[in-house]
Amino acid sequence: DVKVTQSSRYLVKRTGEKVFLECVQDMDHENMFWYRQDPGLGLRLIYFSYDVKMKEKGDIPEGYSVSREKKERFSLILESASTNQTSMYLCASNHRAGGAYNEQFFGPGTRLTVL
């Protein structure tokens, strides 16, 4: 059974803090993704990674960075949190083989509030 876990379900931070969101998958997937989910805007891709130490910008990378030091772990970093980064953050993973036709498996999400 595929499992994608995220380090926190709820997080409250202050403006200017450095924030780390962690994601771990147990299915040996090559690809990992970070999205943010906002009402009326759907899921927007922040960053993704095809392999260890590989990363590519998604549609809204500004204000975020990522780290992938191990295949199973993908971290999202908010260098200096701002109130407009209050959102639900979702991590997902899938196999590279088969390209787009591979199902993405999502974690339960982290609800981040920046005060």
User: Are the C-beta atoms of residues 13 and 74 closer than 8 Å to each other?
Assistant: no
Q: Is residue 115 a contact residue for other proteins (CB under 8 A)?
A: no
Cα 89 to Cα 65, 95, 96, 97, 99, distances in angstroms: 14, 21, 22, 25, 23
Q: Is residue 20 a contact residue for other proteins (CB under 8 A)?
A: no
Residue 11 vs 43, nearer CB to other proteins: 43
Q: Is residue 33 a contact residue for other proteins (CB under 8 A)?
A: yes
Q: Is residue 50 a contact residue for other proteins (CB under 8 A)?
A: yes
User: Are the C-beta atoms of residues 55 and 34 closer than 8 Å to each other?
Assistant: no
Residue ranges binding other proteins (CB under 8 A): 4, 31, 33, 35, 37, 39-45, 48, 50, 58, 90, 92, 94-96, 99-109
